[in-house]
Amino acid sequence: MTQSAVRPTPASPTPPGGHLLEVRDLHVEFRTHEGVARVINGVSYHLDAGETLAVLGESGSGKSVTAQAIMGILDTPPAHVRSGQILYRGRDLLTQSEEQRRQVRGKEIAMIFQDALSALNPVFPVGWQIGETLRQRQGMSKADARRRAVELMDLVKIPAAAKRLGDYPHQFSGGMRQRVMIAMALALDPKVLIADEPTTALDVTVQAQIMDLLADLRRDLDMAMILITHDLGVVAGVADRIAVMYAGRIVEHADVRSLYRSPAHPYTKGLLESIPRLDVRGQALSTIKGLPPNLMRIPSGCPFHPRCPYVQQVCVDVVPHDLVLGDGRTSACHFAQEVRDDSAR
Amino acid sequence: MSDFETVAATENQAARRGPSGEPGAPNQIGAAHKPRSLAGDAWRDLRRSPIFWISLALVVIFTLMAVIPGVFTTNDPSDCLLSRQHAGPSGGAIFGYDFQGCDTYSRAVYGTRASLLVGALSALGTGVIALVVGMLAGYFGRWIDAVLSRVIDVVLGIPLLLAAIVLLKRVGSASPTVRITAVIFVLAILGWTTAARVVRSSVITAKEQDYVAAARMLGAGHGRIMWRHILPNSLAPAIVVLTIALGSFIAAEATLSFLGIGLKAPTISWGQDIDTGRIHMRESATPLIVPSTFLALTVLAFIMLGDAIRDAFDPKLR
């Protein structure tokens, strides 16, 4: 737990004035009747203006919970932030009052959800919903809010935006609904956009359109983006850096290029090897054996050791530190160097 | 919200296509597509529902009867002559006369006002208590929920009739207005529990929805989330429970009046008439049947109307 306090920040140097958003050694647990689930165990990452960080991991790895902690929309109980800091422009959000945090939400940091249908209120037209935030937070008149809603819907490329203002969420297709959700999130012109699996619920073709849209918007509006996903393919074209999460920890953190070329953590390596490839024929697809750990009983030492092909006794006994590799990357593996050299070969 | 939509409609005239139309996007309704409101959709559904029209007609008739009984009968319900006891139909008295020699039909018509007033106001009071309690318990949870849920359990454990008898006995011989208020008050404070439980559970369901998280993400406060995002989405079941409650409150008022502790003369009510009709049933059944039929039709009309509106307004059923 304490080792991460002196964790070096990988991949990019701290800009003057600090990072735009920085999560430091965050610990979150869910207290339930069955016991305490350690969902986040010392996550640290940062985001600078204008960049895209991809947070990658399978279900239950804690990637969405970290995002909800940043937004301050964790359901408490059962979730409790045990320790850590979330710094936005140098101020710790976790020590702020609910009212101060409310000011940050939407205006500074906004989030889009996986399932846009359930993230839109079914009883109000989409124009009303996009405009609601503007009327409430910026005191816009109904007519101004409506005009701005049309602009936002144009911005996210909803055809015939002005016509569809009065439509209800159920009258939109999946891709269009996700666009509405994005328009809502952009209403207050946030500096950071957190996209929580924005394309998981969509068709493959629509997925690409939404990812392109997000990348364009990020660039045009000069936002920083945290892209949460379990889909390595989605990440490649969009992200600058990738943080790979496993069992509530960041196991590897690197820029996209080096991570894809030579993963330095056995888990990342396993993930990359389990992507079906068009250019390799006649081979069984490799998989990562076993299941993600039960968060109430996280394995001793390295949480990945029961599934790891590189496992040694040290992995069972000792929690691996973040190992800093030459090019500013980190990997929480005792054998990071070997794994990277293996994958580079 | 309505003028918002009007503006939207005007804007549509000058609508232009977005910068890049998403090709092949499904569910793109054509250019002639008009914005529809939830109320508009509901109205389209309701228009085709015979149940809606029948129950609406009955509700309108009974409401008119309550407001302007003089239109439905020209006979004075308190013009009673013992010489006409149980006499057959004559003049305006289409159902004949009762034991006291009063016009049976006229009394039933004039009894509508008390019954509807008690039913509607009790349901309204119930609705307000149930929404507030259910919303607070469901939204804030934890100890607030624990306390309010126990209060619901306690109130639910009180037998309605027994408590009503105890409470209304204390009113004694009061003026008709005080008595009717007392009946409404007693029914409302004893009858809100079921509706509150329904509201609480639908609030808990709505609270977990992503659109509530999305509203929080955009910086909405508790009040706004409860009022704009949770309330409209948990109203449908409450409306059904309340319309059914309205019917049962009318029935409860009749029961109390029947037992002699609800409304009393000079207030005319179906319950009292059913009671007197019952005593003299063997001599003439019409003074019992007429107010009973009015009561049954009113209760039925409200329950059917509530059901039809619920079906039409629930977006999840589309």
Averaged over B213-219, what is the pLDDT?
A: 83
Q: What is the pLDDT of residues A251-307, one digit of tens each?
A: 888 888 888 888 888 888 888 888 777 776 777 777 888 788 888 888 888 888 888
CB pairs A-B closer than 8 Å:
153
Task: Say which of B12, B25, B218 has its CB closest to residue A175.
Answer: B25
Task: Say which of B3, B31, B211 has its CB closest to residue A121.
Answer: B211
- A111/chain B closest Cα distance in angstroms: 7
**What is the complex's ipTM, to 2 decimals?**
0.74
**CATH number, domain containing residue B65:** 1.10.3720.10
| Rounded (5°) CA angle A161-A166-A171 | 85
For residues B103 and B34, the model is more confident at B103
Contacts of B159 (CB under 8 A, 6+ apart): none
Contacts of B57 (CB under 8 A, 6+ apart): none
Euclidean distance between CA atoms A244 and A265, whole angstroms: 9
Q: How many CB atoms lie within 10 A of CB A282?
A: 4
- Judged against a pLDDT cut of 80, whether residue B272 lies above it is answered with yes
Q: How many CB atoms lie within 10 A of CB B88?
A: 11
- Inter-chain CB proximity A106 and B219 less than 8 Å: yes
How would residue B148 be classed by pLDDT, with cut points 50, 70 and 90? very high
A-chain residue closest to B37, CA distance:
A166
**Per-residue tokens: B284:** 């003439």
Averaged over A158-187, what is the pLDDT?
A: 84
Q: Is residue B3 part of a domain?
A: no
Most confident of A36-45, A160-169, A300-309, B145-154: B145-154
How would residue B129 be classed by pLDDT, with cut points 50, 70 and 90? very high
**Per-residue tokens: B112:** 């509508």
**Per-residue tokens: A218:** 């990020």
- Judged against a pLDDT cut of 60, whether residue B202 lies above it is answered with yes
Averaged over A314-325, what is the pLDDT?
A: 82
Contacts of B19 in chain A (CB under 8 A): 154, 157
How would residue B125 be classed by pLDDT, with cut points 50, 70 and 90? very high
A-chain residue closest to B216, CA distance:
A73
Contacts of B226 in chain A (CB under 8 A): none
* Residues A147 and B8: beta-carbon distance below 8 Å: no
Question: What's the structural domain count of chain B?
Answer: 1
Contacts of A209 in chain B (CB under 8 A): 22
Q: What pLDDT score does B254 carry?
A: 83
Q: How far is CA A142 from CA A66, A101, A276, B222, in A?
A: 35, 26, 51, 22
Contacts of A127 in chain B (CB under 8 A): 4, 8
Q: What pLDDT score does B11 carry?
A: 38
Q: Is residue B302 part of a domain?
A: yes
Fold for the domain defined by A3-98+224-276+287-344: Rossmann fold (3.40.50)
Q: Which domain holds residue B203?
A: 46-317
- Inter-chain CB proximity A137 and B316 less than 8 Å: no
Q: What is the pLDDT of residues B170-196, one digit of tens each?
A: 776 677 888 888 889 998 998 888 889
Q: Where is average pLDDT lowest: A2-11, A89-98, A231-240, A283-292?
A: A2-11
Residue A115 sits at the chain B interface (C-beta within 8 Å): yes
- For chain A positions 83-112, those within 8 Å of chain B (CB to CB) are 102-107, 110-111
Averaged over A71-99, what is the pLDDT?
A: 83
Q: Is residue B34 part of a domain?
A: no
Euclidean distance between CA atoms B193 and B233, whole angstroms: 20
- Judged against a pLDDT cut of 80, whether residue A167 lies above it is answered with yes
Euclidean distance between CA atoms A331 and A242, whole angstroms: 12
Q: What is the pLDDT of residues B56-96, one digit of tens each?
A: 999 999 999 888 888 887 777 777 777 777 777 777 777 87
Nearest to A177 by CA among A201, A208, A149, A211: A201
